[in-house]
Amino acid sequence: MVKEFSLASMPQLHFGAGMISVLPTAAKNFGGRVLLITGAHSFISSEHGQNLLEEFRASNILVEQFSIAKEPSPDMIDAAVKEFSDEQPDCVIAVGGGSALDGGKAISAMLPLGRPVKDYLEGVGKVPAHPGVKVPFIAVPTTSGTGSEATKNAVISEIGEAGYKRSLRHNNFVPDLAIVDPVLTLSCPSATTAASGMDAFTQLLESYVSTASNPMTDALAVEGLKCVAGALANVYRDGANLEARTDMALASYLSGITLANAGLGLVHGFASPIGGYFEIPHGVICSTLMGPVNRITVRKLRVRKNHPEALKKYATVGKIFSQEGRRPDDYYIDSLLSTIESWSKEMNIPSLSRYGIKRDHFNKIVEGTGNKNNPIALEHDEMVEVLEAAFTHPES
C-alpha cells in the first residue's frame, strides 16, 4: 500500500536549449522594471548576457543590476534591499549559479519588508516566520547543481567561528518561473561543473534513500540519477557536449524537486556547519563528503541488517550506474561506492584540508551536524571517521 505523502508546489518551467529567449517576454508580463541578479561578472560579459540586455532594451524594460559574487551572506542581501527598496522592481531575475539564485530569491523576499534577512533565517532569526510576501522572482541557472530554481528556500551563510548556514524559507518563495537553458552551462569551468554536478548527484541519491522519501520523489530521483550516470563524467571530460549538459540540467532541476519533498541526508547535514565556519563552496563540501558518508552509511546498514529497503535502494542506483545484469545486490552497492570515489578522484575534488579545516575542528563540526533523513544515524565517532576520510583523501 502506498503511504501518505505531500508534494510541494513547483515553478512554471521552460526547459531546453535556447529557452533563454522567452525571458524578456516573461519579465515584461510582470512590468517594465527588472532587478537582475548575477554572479561575479561572467554572464553579463558573455554574448548571452549582452544579447539579453539588448533584448530588454528593445522591450523597453529598465534593468538594474546587482552582483552576488559568492555564497550569499546577510550583508549582501541587506545591501541589495537597501539599494533598491525605494523604487522596487516589478520582478527580480537571478541568472547564475546556486549562489546567485539563492541571493535573488532572498532579495525578492526581503524587498517588501525592508528588514534584515537574518531576522527571518531558520535557527537564528528573531521573527517566528516570514509572511511570504515577495517581488515576483524568475530563476535562470547557469550551472547544474543546487536545484535552487525548483525550491522554496534560499540558503544564506555568515562565515566565521560563530558562523552559520541557514535557510530563508516559505512556500511562496518557489520561483514564479524557472528557465533552464543548458546552453548557458556550456561555458561553465570544469571545476565548477564537477562540484555542482556532484552536488546534484548527492541530492538525488540522498533524497532517494531518505527516510522521508515517497513514490513521487523516488520516481523523479531515479530519472535524475539516470541522467547523472550517463552525463556527469562525460560533461566533465567535454564541457561542450550539449547533450550531456542538457541531461545534467535536468538532473539538477529534479534534484531540487526531490530534496524539497524528501529532504536530504548526512552529507548536507555536514554542509551546514562546515559552510558556516569555513570559506568553502557548497558543491565542494558535498563532492568531498559524498564518498565517505555513503561508504560508512552502507557499512553500518550491512552490520545492523534492520533497514533492508535502504540497501535495496542503493543496489537499484548501483544497477543504473554499472549497467551490468545478473549480479547480486552487494555487487551493485559496491560498484556505486567505487564510482563515487573514482569520479571524485578523476574530477580532482579537493580535500577538506585545502580550505583551512584542521582535525581540531572535527568535534565542533560534528556537534553542529544533523543526521536527519539519513537511512541510518551515524554516531559521533563514525562522523569523525567521515571527516578524516574527506580530510586526507588522495587527489589525482
CB 350 within 8 A of CB 288: yes
pTM over 0.75: yes
> For residue 393, what pLDDT is reported?
64
Element (H, E) at 158: strand 153-158
Give the pLDDT confidence score for residue 395 in this predicted structure: 55
Please, are residues 225 and 315 in contact by the beta-carbon 8 Å criterion?
no
pLDDT of amino acid 396: 44
CB 88 within 8 Å of CB 107: no
Contacts of residue 358, defined as CB under 8 A and 6 or more positions apart, other chains included, come to none
Q: What confidence score (pLDDT) does residue 93 get?
A: 98
**Cell output for 220:** 523523479
- Residue 35 phi, psi (nearest 5): -105, 115
Average pLDDT per consecutive 10 residues, the chain (396 residues; last block may be shorter): 86 97 96 94 83 93 94 96 93 96 98 96 90 97 96 95 93 97 95 96 98 96 98 97 98 97 96 94 94 98 93 97 91 98 94 92 94 94 96 65
Q: What gap in Å lies between CA 179 and CA 184, rounded to an integer?
A: 11
For 298-317, the pLDDT digits (tens) are 999 999 988 999 999 999 99
Q: What confidence tens digit (pLDDT) does each residue in 225-234 have? A: 999 999 999 9
56 contacts: CB under 8 Å, gap ≥ 6: 24, 27, 34, 63
pLDDT at site 292: 97
Query: What confidence score (pLDDT) does residue 134 get?
Result: 97
Cα separation, 259 vs 248, in Å, equals 16
Q: Which residues pair with 224 in a beta bridge?
A: none
Helices marked H in 178-214: 190-209
The identity of residue 24, as a single letter, is P
Among left, alpha and beta (phi > 0; psi -120 to 50; other), residue 214 is: beta
For residue 108, the surrounding DSSP H or E stretch is: helix 98-110
Q: How many CA atoms lie within 13 A of 349 on its CB side?
A: 32
d(CA 72, CA 103): 6
Domains of the chain plus CATH, in order, are: 12-185 (3.40.50.1970), 190-392 (1.20.1090.10)
Per the listing, cell 529567449 goes with 21
- 117, 170 contact by CB (below 8 A): no
Distances (CA, A) of 227 to 174, 250, 253: 24, 7, 11
Give pLDDT, residue 373. Answer: 94
CB neighbourhood size of 207 (10 A)? 30
Cβ proximity of 63 and 113 under 8 Å = no
Are the CB atoms for 228 and 208 separated by under 8 Å? no
| Residues β-bridged to residue 67 | 38
Retrieve residue 32's grid coordinates: 517594465
- Decide if 225 contacts 320 (C-beta within 8 A): yes
CA separation, residue 391 to residues 292, 342, 359, 385 (Å): 10, 17, 8, 10
